[in-house]
């Protein structure tokens, strides 16, 4: 049995055989994925994004003819989500959402994301369907806003699913929210200026942020489904659930990537 407090609902996560099975399955699945996807470090990052992004070159950022794995909008979304999750993790195990005024700002970001996304898609249609000409700058900014909103909404859910003793405090106040907005605005300015170090960082950070978000989401859903949510005292007790979440995330990106590859026959961007 794995170490941990007794007397709590533990359906199977503390069984050593299940722990071994999850660990072995994750290692095997990762090895297969690494062997079947594009070669090289950048190829693996591209393969991660391939499962969720169209990767159209005209809507992506480049550094010295090197295209980022995500389009501009997805780059913003997973940059905002990743920065938000990391920053809010330092706030502790808070389980309450922010006050209504912050939620309304996040709702405005969601509306901006949806409006610009629809208008951006309309550029593939006749001109009469287009409200304005969308740009990669607007795509990046709309993605950043939505990504930050995802982090703010998701973190209290994750904390409720993970921890036995969550803090009954708001995950975010206006001070921290303002600092995050300033930081992301600075990051957007650096990316749009074409600063190569920041662009390369975003090319690496966003696929990892996407994976982190998927792992935390699948881990939370698995804990809730198996009725083991809200029991862990520390990260050590979440080793097996996190491995299950990682395995489910790997299955998701592999299944979607396989379907896309079977439909298109190529690792290239979607041609609209």
Tell me which of 36 and 10 has the higher pLDDT.
36
Instruction: Output the pLDDT for position 121.
Output: 83
Query: Quick check: is 51 in a domain?
Result: no
Instruction: Output the pLDDT for position 132.
Output: 81
The count of C-alpha atoms lying within 13 angstroms of the C-alpha of 243, restricted to the half-sphere facing its C-beta, is 18
Give mean pLDDT, residues 142-148: 98
pLDDT in tens, 213-228: 999 999 999 999 988 9
Only one residue has tokens 């700058």, namely: 137
- Separation between Cα atoms, residue 68 and residue 73, nearest integer Å: 12
Q: How big is the CA angle at 147 (ends 100 and 61), to the nearest 5 degrees?
A: 150
Query: Quick check: is 179 in a domain?
Result: yes
- Separation between Cα atoms, residue 186 and residue 234, nearest integer Å: 34
Query: Quick check: is 271 in a domain?
Result: no
Instruction: Give the containing element (helix H, strand E) for 67.
Output: strand 66-71
Instruction: Output the pLDDT for position 76.
Output: 98
Instruction: Output the pLDDT for position 39.
Output: 94
Instruction: Give the containing element (helix H, strand E) for 70.
Output: strand 66-71
Instruction: Output the pLDDT for position 236.
Output: 87
The confidence band for 133, taking pLDDT boundaries of 50, 70 and 90, is: confident
pLDDT in tens, 177-234: 999 999 999 999 999 999 999 999 999 999 999 999 999 999 999 999 988 999 999 9
Ramachandran region of residue 65, left (φ > 0), alpha (ψ -120 to 50) or beta?
left
Cα–Cα nearest to 103, from 51, 169, 149, 160: 149
- Separation between Cα atoms, residue 77 and residue 150, nearest integer Å: 9
Query: Quick check: is 140 in a domain?
Result: yes
pLDDT in tens, 44-89: 999 999 999 999 999 999 998 899 999 999 999 999 999 999 999 9
Instruction: Output the pLDDT for position 11.
Output: 45
Q: Is the pLDDT of residue 9 over 60?
A: no
Instruction: Output the pLDDT for position 259.
Output: 97
Helix (H, G, I), strand (E, B) or coil at 79: helix
As for how many domains the chain has, the answer is 1
- Separation between Cα atoms, residue 54 and residue 206, nearest integer Å: 15
pTM (global) more than 0.95: no
Instruction: List CB contacts of 18: < 8 A, sequence separation 6 or more.
Output: 12, 240
Query: Quick check: is 195 in a domain?
Result: yes
Query: Quick check: is 2 in a domain?
Result: no
Q: Which stretches of the chain are DSSP H helices?
A: 16-36, 41-50, 72-89, 100-121, 136-162, 174-192, 196-225, 239-264
Q: Is the pLDDT of residue 256 over 50?
A: yes
Q: Which residue range(s) make up the domain with 181?
A: 72-248
Check if the beta carbon of residue 169 is closer than 8 Å to that of residue 94.
Answer: yes
User: Residues of 161-196 as b/e, b for ≥16 C-beta within 10 angstroms?
Assistant: bbbeebeeebbbeeebbeebeeebeebbebbbeeee
Query: Quick check: is 26 in a domain?
Result: no
Query: Quick check: is 183 in a domain?
Result: yes
């Amino acid at each position: 049995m794995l170490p941990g407090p007794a007397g709590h609902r533990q359906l199977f996560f503390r069984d050593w055989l299940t722990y071994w099975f999850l660990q072995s399955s994750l290692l095997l699945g990762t090895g297969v994925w690494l062997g079947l996807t594009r070669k090289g470090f950048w190829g693996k990052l591209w393969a991660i994004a391939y499962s969720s992004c169209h990767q159209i070159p005209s809507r992506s950022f480049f550094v010295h003819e090197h295209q980022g794995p995500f389009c501009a909008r997805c780059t913003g979304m997973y940059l905002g989500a990743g920065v938000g999750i990391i920053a809010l993790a330092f706030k502790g195990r808070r389980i309450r959402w922010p006050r209504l005024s912050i939620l309304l700002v996040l709702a405005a970001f969601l509306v901006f994301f949806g409006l610009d996304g629809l208008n951006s898609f309309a550029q593939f249609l006749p001109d009469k369907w287009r409200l304005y000409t969308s740009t990669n700058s607007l795509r990046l900014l709309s993605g950043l806003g939505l990504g930050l909103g995802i982090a703010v909404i998701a973190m209290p859910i994750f904390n409720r699913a993970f921890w036995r003793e969550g803090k009954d405090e708001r995950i975010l106040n206006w001070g921290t929210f303002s600092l995050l907005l300033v930081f992301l605005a600075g990051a957007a300015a650096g990316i749009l200026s074409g600063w190569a170090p920041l662009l390369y960082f975003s090319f690496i950070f966003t696929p990892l942020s996407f994976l982190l978000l998927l792992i935390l989401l699948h881990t939370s859903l698995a804990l809730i489904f198996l009725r083991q949510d809200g029991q862990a005292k520390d990260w050590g007790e979440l080793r097996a659930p996190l491995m299950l979440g990682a395995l489910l995330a790997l299955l998701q990106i592999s299944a979607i990537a396989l379907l896309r590859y079977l439909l298109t026959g190529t690792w290239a961007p979607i041609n609209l």
